[in-house]
Amino acid sequence: MYQPKGIIPAMATPFYPDGSLNLDELGNQVERFIKSGVHAIFTLGTNGEFYALNFDEKVQVMETVIQKAAGRIPVWVGTGCVTTEETIQLSKRAQSAGVDALSVITPYFGQVSQKAMAEHYRSVAKAVDLPILMYNIPARTGNSISKETVAELAKVENIIGIKDSSGNFDNTLQYLEITHREFAVIAGNDSLILSTLMAGGVGAIAGTGNIFPERLVEMYRAWESGDIVKATQIQDSIRPIRDCLKLGNPNSVIKRAANLIGYPVGPARAPFDGDYSVWDPALMKTLEKYYPELLKK
C-alpha cells in the first residue's frame, strides 16, 4: 500500500474574483508543484478551503487535479466532512475519480468522544480501498485524536498515518512513540517540519508550499542527505512568513501571499477573504526583506 513521504503542498483552491472556481488556474498550480519536485500534492484540505466548497465543487476540484497530474505524482484528497455518511460518500467519489490516497479530518463543530471518533474512521476505512491519513487539527475542529485512539486505529490496514496540525510537538512525539514505524506521522505545522523528520516522521503537508515549494523540497533533501545544518537554516527561513499568519485566517493569508508573488489563485471565499489593505503592506514588507527572489518570478 502507498506510503507517504516528503513534501506535500496543501494546495490552495483558485477562485475568480466573484468566488467561482478557477479550474484553469488549478491545473496551472498542479504543473507548478510537479516542476518544483514535491513528492505528492494534496487538494481539498484546510488551505484548499474545503469548508467553503459544496459536494459538487469538491468533485470538480479533485477531478481536475487528478486529470492534470495524469499519474505523474500521487494525489491526496481531503474527504472529511461533519458526518460519517457524507465522509463516506465523498471518499467513495474520490476513489472512483482515481485518487491515490485520502486525508480525513476529524469530525468538527460538534463534540465527539474517542469511541465515536474511532468508529467514524473505521467506517470510512471499511467503505473504501484507499490509504487513509487521519488529520488532527483541534484548533479548527474542536476535536483531537488521542494517542490511544491513534494506536488503536493504526491497526486498521488502510489507515496508514496521521497528519498532526495541533502545533504541539509533544503530541506529535506521542503519536510517534505509540505507533509502529510503518505508520506515517506527518507534520501539519510548517514550523515543525524538520523537528518531525528528525523525530521519526516521514514528511509534511505544508501550507507554505503554496509560496515556496522548492525551498521546502530543498530542506527535505538536505535532511535526507544528513546535512542538518542546511536543513535547519532552511527551516528557520520559514519563520518570517509564518509570523504573518497572525494577520488573519492563516490559510487565507497564505493564499494572499501566493497572489502577491504572481500566482493568481484569487481571493479566499467570503467571509474569509480578509482585509487586504491591512495584509498587503505587512506581507510585501516580509516578502521584500526575506524572500526577494519570489517577487522576481
Catalytic positions are 135, 163
Tell the residue number behind the cell numbers 487521519, with chain if given: 134
Under DSSP, the state recorded for 21 is B
Amino acid code (one letter) for 20: S
Instruction: Determine the 3-state secondary structure of 15 from DSSP.
Output: strand
- Of 48, 61, 53, 52, give the one whose Cα is nearest residue 8: 48
List the strands of the sheet with 75-78, edge to edge: 6-9, 203-206, 184-187, 159-164, 132-136, 101-105, 75-78, 41-43
Q: How far apart are CA 106 and CA 81, in angstroms?
A: 8
Q: How far apart are CA 39 and CA 34, in angstroms?
A: 8
